[in-house]
Each structure stands twice: as C-alpha cells, then as structure tokens.
Amino acid sequence: MEREDDVLRQIAHNNIALQRSSLHLIEKISDLTKRIDKLVSLFEEASKHIEDVEEQEDKIKSLTEKLELLLEQNKEIAHGLLLLDKYIRGKSEFENINPKPLRSL
C-alpha cells in the first residue's frame, strides 16, 4: 500500500510539474504570438510606405519626362532664334553694302 501511495504521489508530482511546464509553454507561445503580431504590423506599415515611395517615384518620373520634353523644346527654340539672328545679320550686312552704279557704256 505504501508503494502505491508513493507511486500516486510521484504521479501527482509529475502531473503538477507537467502542468507548470505547460503553463510556462503557453505563456511563451503567447509572448511569441504578440511579437509576431508586432512584426506583421511592422511589415504592413513598411508596405504602405513602399507604396507611397512608388507613387512619389512615378510622379518624379512623370515630372522628369515633362522637363526633358521642355528642354528639347527650348533647344529647338534656341536653334530657331540663332538661325533668325543669322538671317537678320546677313540681310543687314547685305543692305549696308552700297551698290556701285554701273558705268554706262
């Protein structure tokens, strides 16, 4: 009978130890779950910021394309103004030359 009591006490002791270990494990799993939730939230926030950055990059790309187009237009206008200046200078030089009257034969 004493042996049975010892076995029952050992079983009860082991059962209590198992419950403590289970409780400790449940607490750790709960802590881990909270940390994973925080990590997921961090990734979600990062994802939102990446979308914002991508939108800004698209806006910058669009603006860059418009500026490049404007630059090309400015180059064409400058080239046209230079040609116009050459034309005007050439015409005024031609007009400044005094024609010599032809001698009569």
- The ranges assigned to domains in the chain are 1-65
Q: State both tokens at 23.
A: 């409780």
Q: Is the pTM of this model over 0.75?
A: no
> Looking at 55-59, 83-87, 92-96, which range is the least confident one?
92-96
Q: State both tokens at 48.
A: 């939102």
pLDDT for position 39: 96
**Residue corresponding to tokens 């034309």:** 87
User: b/e map of 76-99 (b: 16 or more CB within 10 Å)?
Assistant: eeeeeeeeeeeeeeeeeeeeeeee
- Is the pLDDT reported for residue 2 higher than 90? no
Tens of pLDDT, residue by residue over 34-52, are 999 999 999 999 988 888 8
What residue type is 64 in one-letter code?
T
